[in-house]
Amino acid sequence: MIINQENKKVGDMTVKELKELIKSVLYEIIDPDYGLELRPEVEEELKKSLESKERIPVEEIIEELGLKC
């Protein structure tokens, strides 16, 4: 449930609206990308990647990026 809170006072909200607002704020704090959607081309690339059996070992990635464990 999306609520337009910009011009609404907390005192004017129903209990349900206030709970939804709190829940929405918590989701945004936990996951800043909450509510965002992937572009179709990114979603398609992710699907292809998940279908592929090709995997790169984490050790190889660490070495390529020059990271230390």
Instruction: Domain ranges for the chain, please list them.
Output: 10-65
pLDDT reading at 68 higher than 50: yes
SS3 sequence of 35-50 = CCCCCHHHHHHHHHHH
The predicted-structure confidence for 36-57, as pLDDT tens digits, reads as follows: 899 999 999 999 999 998 899 9
Q: Could you identify the residue written with the tokens 């129903």?
A: 14
Take residue 26 and report the two structure tokens written for it. 């918590």
4 close to 24: Cβ distance less than 8 angstroms: no
Q: Which amino acid is at 5?
A: Q
Stretch 7-29: mean pLDDT: 90
The mean predicted confidence, pLDDT, of the chain is 87
**Whole-structure pTM value:** 0.45
How many Cα atoms occupy the beta-carbon half-sphere of 30 within 13 Å?
Answer: 8
